[in-house]
Amino acid sequence: MTKNDFMREAIAISIANVDNGGGPFGAVIVKNNEIIARGANRVTADNDPTAHAEVSAIRKAAEKLGTFDLSGCEIYTSCEPCPMCLGAIYWARLDKMYYANTKTDAKNIGFDDSFIYDELDLKPADRHLPSETLLHDEAIKAFEKWENKCDKTEY
């Protein structure tokens, strides 16, 4: 299969998902020229704000391969990822990302993530989502314990 074939599969998932009550987003993860996982946006269908196509595909690929490290894999997604999905793609260590629609295309139909990108550039105190630090002295103990753990699996 070619890159275009993989992208066409992600696009087909996005189109079919609209007919099945989901959002217009689809993704596939490929390893060694084979699709190992597919994902569709199921945010409203599953009442899960994290059920984006890319995250769903990453979860399925990690389960299938038995690892959180998806090095050696590529993701084809029907749209440029939102900040959450982009973060997940980086955390999964995918080798490459391909996308079809742009974030501007998504914005034009009501999926505007620009406010999140804008918020990330602000200091926490200046963001629209109020936040404050609580119990730092207690919470840091978990970090200290992790830092000193000899048998940890780094990720």
| Chain-centroid distance, C-alpha 51 | 9
Q: How far is CA 2 from CA 64, 87, 125, in A?
A: 22, 26, 47
Which residues lie below 8 Å from residue 60, measured CB to CB, with a gap of 6+?
Answer: 29, 36, 37, 38, 39
User: DSSP 3-state assignment of 23?
Assistant: coil
- Cα-trace Rg, the chain: 18
Which residue out of 9, 54, 138, 147 is catalytically annotated?
Answer: 54
147 is catalytic: no
- As a whole number of angstroms, the distance between CA 51 and CA 20 comes to 14
DSSP H helices in 77-135: 83-92, 103-108, 114-120
- As a whole number of angstroms, the distance between CA 54 and CA 78 comes to 9
Instruction: List residues with catalytic annotation.
Output: 54
